[in-house]
Amino acid sequence: RKGKEGKVSINFSSEYGIQNVNKKIDLLNSREFGELVNEINPGTYNNLDALPNSDWQDVIFKKNAGIKNYQVSASGGTATSSYFMSLGYFQQEGVVPKSDYERISIRTNYSTQLGKYVTVGTNLTVAPIKKQNTANVIGTIYRASPAVQARIDTGSGYGEVNGYGNPLAAIDYNNSFEKSLSAIGNVFAEIKLPLGLKYRFSYGFDAGTDRTVSFSPVYFVSPTQSNPINDLTTGRYSRNNSTIDNLLYYNMEEGKHRIDALGGVSFYSNASEGLSVTAQNIIRDNRNLWYLNAGQVVGSLSNETAALVHKQSFFGRVNYVFSDRYLVTATYRVDGSSNFGTNNQYAGFPSMALGWVLSEEDFLKNIKSISNLKIRTSWGKLGNQNIDVTDRFTVINSNNPAVFGPANTLTQGATYGQTSNPNLKWETTTQFDAGIELGMFANKLTFEADYYNRLTEDILVNLVQPGHVGNGPFTRIRTNAASVVNRGIELALNWRDKAGSFDYRFGGNLTTVYNEVKSLGAAIEADEFIVGGGLGNGQNVTRTQAGQPIGAFYGFQTNGIFQNDSAVADGPVINGDQVPGDIRFKDQNGDGKIDFSKDRTFLGSPIPKLIFGFNAGVNVKNFDLSFDFQGQTGNKIYNGKAAVRPAIANYEGNYRDRWTPTNPSNTVPRATAGGDNFNPSDFLLQDGSFLRLRTVTLSYSLPQSLCGKLKTQKMNVYLRGTNLLTITKFTGYSPEVGGSDLGAGIDLGIYPITAVLAGGINVTF
């Protein structure tokens, strides 16, 4: 935001809201859980009516957690200068204890003219942040036995949750704090030159420091949840990114011709370093003593990192417009990165765009209903160099102690770690677009349609190399190997009109997505596929290979439930130990048995086939009501939190209809603590489609007559709801699971999405 010439404008806004987990996962209560456990281990619970009943979601999640947001700003200017300053405060209380967040934002920008030809200015944002990092208990809340009291009056004061630990104790004994300070800004100077030229110099920076402190006291809840020695871990991280741009602009307008051009050189530097050190036996638990010299530093738990990346770019762009009808844009840039070796540091990336404004043609000018009609197309290339700075180097692992000599002395050593790849080069994305823009009835109706086709080649992936490389089995090396295509259409339709004092608007958009891996490592005799989607229990549930989407789910197809011994005998079975009530897996190759190498198949993709949204609003006099929805369909989510079961865990509500001799379910297997029923399969795969009411806002703008009496220019009050409603078949907290490309769409216990009710006021003086 920038100031305007004239009187100083002061703006103030204040908002307060409350947030709640808007959806609980349907889990078994203690009686249902006890009945199920007794089916697995008969006699575990002899009196189901005497069991405590802990709803861990109610125990952990806070009700009506607060959010505060305050902003004050001032702006103004003269004929030759402008300024803007703002101060903001944001505080959010987490719905999980010890996950609070606090931020102060200071922003300023200023520009002024020095004579007729020179303009200088600066932009700066400074943000000190404090937050708590709570224990990761979402998965534990899901799995913990409900037949355990959260707190007890004896012993440690916490109920013992076998196999997983008491999530309330995990939060109480976890103390993790983080303080950071970031500064982002730039300074610039512009000089007007003869012949339509203008030069701009800009120096930008993004710097920050971060300090973390984590302390865990001595405690004992159970043999699997204890800490015999208190420990303190402190971390320091800093970054210093800078960009220097030298730009030369040219503008010319002559008759029906308009040309603007840009040429420039850009230099970018990214430097970062971090240090993490752990000490034990801190003399007391008091927070004032959370320093390394108050204990004994543990050298093997220390870690230091550093990185330095440089990038250099040369670029030029020309825009040409003839008669406001025909538009041409041509761009070419050369980028160089220190992440690559000298042979491949630089690469060129051209692009071109064409446009034709048909509504300016004589044969359409007289059609009054058409306000705007334009067709356009573009083609271009972009590069990616976001890899680790060490990927092109041979790495030696130095922290490898070994015992030598008759005295069994522990000696520090080093060993071969990673083979270099000096031939790494830029990953390249080539994209083609074609579209149309239409405006009708004085642009009350607008419509856009686009087709896109994006091919990414030489993707920088980690692949297992052939044995002759000599890097050891299953060791991955960063390689330019894969290619992936994404294509689809994008549509947007909007209508805005008014009838008297009644204004209304509505619109929608949708995007289709087709994703396919075109090639992987066959050309270099490396991986034919990449296994991903690790659950943390030794299972992987995704596979990336040519002909399939990135990170496609991979496992067994299910074929109902074995109902009796005869069905088991007829098979096919896995491992030869299935019994009635177990999942029947599909024999993909028809050899009469089930095995991992031959009978797993692709089960679906975490990438949605369709992403959509729509919005609407009405304005009557000083009242305005608006809402917007968003959604997606065509994707799958793997319920990984249900598969990770190192001990008997709780179950979701669908297990009320599990198979038993008296309830021959053909959809939910018998109760088991683990085993083959939890192999990667479509049993744990769910539909990820959803429709969410993202926001709904009701606002009221005070009449100007009342604003005048209050000595204000304008004032607005509002009520807003966020994430109030989500329609989905997914049983977890939110279908927006996220994740990396090779492991997207896997729910291992994500932090729940919250519904927020907020009210606020905006005032301009």
Among residues 146, 154, 150, the alpha carbon closest in space to that of 172 is found at 150
- Which residue, among 167, 142, 60, has the nearest Cα to 733 in the 3D structure? 142
Contact 620, 502 (CB under 8 A): yes
Q: What is the Cα–Cα distance from 150 to 57, expressed in whole angstroms?
A: 11
The Cα 670–Cα 672 span in angstroms is: 6
d(CA 586, CA 604): 16
pLDDT at 198: 96
Tens digits of per-residue pLDDT, 549-572? 999 999 999 999 999 999 999 989
Spatial neighbors of 626 by CB under 8 A, at least 6 apart, are 615, 616, 617, 618, 695, 696, 697
Token pair 């939910």 in the structure block, residue: 668
Q: Are 109 and 124 in contact (CB under 8 A)?
A: yes
pLDDT at 740: 82
CA distance 155 to 150: 13
CA dist list (Å): 14 to 72, 195, 759, 760: 9, 49, 8, 5
pLDDT of residue 471: 54
CB contact set of 234 (below 8 Å; sequence gap of 6+): 211, 212, 213, 214, 276, 277, 290, 291, 292
Which residue in 765, 763, 756 sits closest to 719, CA to CA?
A: 756
Indicate the pairing of strand 415-418 with strand 409-411: unpaired
3-state secondary structure of 682: helix
Determine the Cα–Cα distance for residues 619 and 629; give it in Å rounded to an integer: 19
Cα–Cα distance, 84 to 111 (Å, whole number): 10
Phi, psi at 480, each rounded to 5°: -85, 100
Rounded CA-CA distance 129/135 in Å is 19
Bridge partners of 392?
none
- Mean per-residue pLDDT pooled into runs of 10, the chain (765 residues): 76 96 95 96 93 95 96 92 96 96 97 94 97 94 95 89 93 96 97 95 97 96 93 95 97 94 96 94 92 87 87 97 95 95 91 96 88 96 89 73 75 71 90 97 96 94 62 67 94 94 94 95 68 90 94 96 94 88 94 90 96 96 95 96 89 96 95 92 96 97 87 92 96 91 91 95 93
Q: What's the burial of 651, exposed, middle or buried (CB within 10 Å: 0-12/13-18/19+)?
A: buried
Q: Quick check: 549 and 516 in contact, CB under 8 A?
A: yes
Give the CA distances from residue 12 to residues 269, 734, 757, in Å, rounded to whole numbers and listed in that order. 37, 34, 20
Per-residue pLDDT at 527: 63
| pLDDT given at position 522 | 64
Q: How far is CA 81 from the centre of its chain?
A: 40
Question: Global pTM?
Answer: 0.90
Task: Please tell me the distance from the alpha carbon of residue 383 to that of residue 347, in angstroms, as a whole number.
Answer: 8
The whole-angstrom separation of Cα 734 and Cα 732 is: 6
Q: Which of 433, 432, 480 is nearest to 457 (CA)?
A: 480
Beta bridge partners of 267: 244, 312
> Which tokens belong to 755?
């519904």
Most distant CA atoms of the chain, gap in Å: 100
pLDDT (0 to 100) of residue 464 = 66
DSSP code for 750: P
